[in-house]
């Protein structure tokens, strides 16, 4: 995921392999994100450094059997061998490989790694892609003295997770979506976060990861969250998912009508095709209340939460509504019908 794949003439299509101090280090970067991995599961006959096309090298290693693989540099070529199998790949000058930012001496963010990953996972679906406002193509980590807020928006919805956390200094950084997806795959526990004006660096026993930060001002997310709601309902997660999925076989846009003792789900489709289902549920609404929504926003929220119930805060049919579960909320703009 860290390699330049389209242009193999670029050094960023290569991995940098270094053998020294009884350790093997492998690095890859596309300039935006980068990863350095260490292993001591190696027998170094002679120290050295080399670059090689990452994809080709991986394809070769995948095809070989379990067991030792020999890597050797001769005449600026990398030779890969195992018993009767031999391969040769060209190399670039390793001195031209991009320099990674270091974490030594950088300020540190103190946060529980599980909380970080869980929070990022919840806000990831609401991050925009290819928005000309670059700051919307990432998630905000907004660090206050007593808490950390994670926020993302694609202009139709806003996702916010707030966790209690004691911090020495206040800070706001925007991390690109691509980096967030990789962070979720790589890290689970015991991580250290460092930052400077341009980069975030995450260090663990086995990995050092960096990402360039997005330069920009994230929207004032606290202003978007409605201060008050006139109606709040607690709803069952599993039942809601089942009902919505029935409608999405026909249409992604769903009309939901809250009646006194039931909730009706209908498709919003122009093609004379219809889907309709309802669940028995005491809403205690004295008159019908209708909202129309993009089902993806609701399903993204429901698939991110751990509880069996969530709450929805409503004002008027055409005003934003709030989905809530513990410290996680998503504000959604309804479809005006």
Q: Are 150 and 160 in contact (CB under 8 A)?
A: yes
**Per-residue tokens: 186:** 């790589």
pLDDT tens track for 145-180: 899 999 999 999 999 999 998 878 889 999 999 999
Distance, in Å, from the CA atom of 78 to the CA atom of 221, rounded to the nearest integer, reads: 52
Question: How large is the angle between the packed helices 113-123 and 177-186, nearest 10 degrees?
Answer: 140
Q: Which residues pair with 26 in a beta bridge?
A: 17, 37
Q: Which helix (H) or strand (E) holds 240?
A: helix 237-248
**Per-residue tokens: 109:** 């963010």
Distance, in Å, from the CA atom of 120 to the CA atom of 139, rounded to the nearest integer, reads: 8
| Domain ranges (residues) in the chain | 11-96, 109-190+212-223, 226-332
Average pLDDT on 91-110 reads 94
**Per-residue tokens: 299:** 């399903």
**Per-residue tokens: 64:** 């070989």
Percent of the chain with pLDDT over 90: 92
Residue 208 CA, chain-centre distance (Å), reads: 18
CATH of domain 11-96: 3.10.150.10
Among 148, 316, 307, 239, residue whose Cα is nearest residue 324: 307
pLDDT tens track for 280-313: 999 989 999 999 999 999 999 999 999 999 999 9
Sheet of 231-236, strands arranged across: 171-176, 138-143, 147-153, 157-164, 328-332, 321-325, 309-314, 231-236
Confidence (pLDDT) at 204: 92
Would the CATH topology of 11-96 be identical to that of 109-190+212-223?
yes
Distance, in Å, from the CA atom of 178 to the CA atom of 272, rounded to the nearest integer, reads: 40
Distance, in Å, from the CA atom of 231 to the CA atom of 249, rounded to the nearest integer, reads: 29
Distance, in Å, from the CA atom of 245 to the CA atom of 42, rounded to the nearest integer, reads: 50
Distance, in Å, from the CA atom of 152 to the CA atom of 181, rounded to the nearest integer, reads: 14
Confidence (pLDDT) at 125: 97
Distance, in Å, from the CA atom of 151 to the CA atom of 185, rounded to the nearest integer, reads: 20
Question: How would you class 9 by CB atoms within 10 Å of its CB: exposed for 0-12, middle for 13-18, buried for 19 or more?
Answer: exposed
pLDDT at 246 over 90: yes
Average pLDDT on 234-255 reads 96
pLDDT at 189 over 80: no
207-212/138-143 β-pairing: unpaired
Distance, in Å, from the CA atom of 235 to the CA atom of 238, rounded to the nearest integer, reads: 9
User: Left (φ > 0), alpha (ψ -120 to 50) or beta: where does 86 sit?
Assistant: beta
CATH of domain 109-190+212-223: 3.10.150.10
Nearest 5°: phi and psi at 231? -135, 135
> Which string of b and e fits 93-124 if b means at least 16 CB within 10 Å?
ebeebeebbebeebeebebebebbbbbbbbbb
Range name among 35-44, 167-176, 177-186 with the lowest pLDDT average: 167-176
pLDDT tens track for 193-241: 999 999 999 999 889 999 999 999 999 999 999 999 999 999 999 999 9
Fold of the 226-332 domain: DNA Polymerase III; Chain A, domain 2 (3.10.150)
pLDDT at 37 over 90: yes
Mean pLDDT of the chain: 95
Average pLDDT on 239-254 reads 96
pLDDT at 330 over 80: yes
Q: Which residues pair with 87 in a beta bridge?
A: 80
């Amino acid at each position: 995921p860290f390699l330049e794949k389209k242009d193999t003439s670029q050094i960023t299509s290569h991995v940098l392999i270094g053998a020294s101090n009884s350790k093997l280090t492998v690095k890859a970067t596309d300039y935006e994100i980068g990863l350095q991995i260490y292993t001591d599961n190696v027998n170094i006959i002679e120290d050295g450094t080399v670059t090689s096309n990452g994809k080709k090298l991986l394809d070769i290693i995948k095809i070989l059997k379990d067991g030792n693989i020999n890597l050797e540099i001769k005449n600026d070529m990398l030779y890969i061998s195992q018993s009767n199998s031999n391969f040769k790949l060209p190399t670039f000058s390793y001195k031209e490989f991009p320099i990674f930012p270091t974490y030594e001496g950088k300020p540190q963010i103190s946060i529980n790694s599980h909380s970080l990953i869980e929070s990022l996972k919840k806000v990831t679906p609401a991050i925009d892609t290819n928005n000309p406002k670059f700051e919307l193509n990432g998630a905000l980590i907004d660090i206050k003295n007593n808490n950390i807020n994670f926020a993302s928006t694609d202009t139709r919805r806003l996702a916010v997770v707030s966790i209690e956390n004691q911090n020495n200094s206040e800070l706001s950084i925007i991390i690109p979506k691509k980096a967030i997806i990789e962070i979720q795959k790589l890290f689970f526990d015991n991580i250290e976060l460092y930052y400077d004006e341009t980069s975030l660096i995450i260090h663990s026993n086995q990995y050092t990861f960096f990402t360039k930060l997005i330069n920009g001002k994230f929207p004032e997310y606290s202003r978007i969250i409605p201060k008050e709601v006139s109606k709040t309902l607690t709803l069952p997660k599993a039942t809601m998912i089942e009902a919505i999925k029935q409608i999405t076989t026909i249409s992604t846009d769903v009309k939901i009508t809250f009646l006194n003792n039931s909730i009706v789900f209908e498709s919003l489709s122009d093609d004379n095709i219809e889907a309709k289902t309802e669940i028995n549920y005491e809403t205690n609404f004295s008159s019908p209340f209708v909202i129309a929504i993009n089902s993806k926003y609701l399903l993204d929220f429901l698939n991110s939460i751990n509880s069996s119930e969530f709450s929805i805060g409503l004002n008027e049919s055409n005003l934003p509504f709030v989905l809530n579960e513990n410290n996680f909320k998503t504000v959604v703009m309804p479809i005006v019908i």
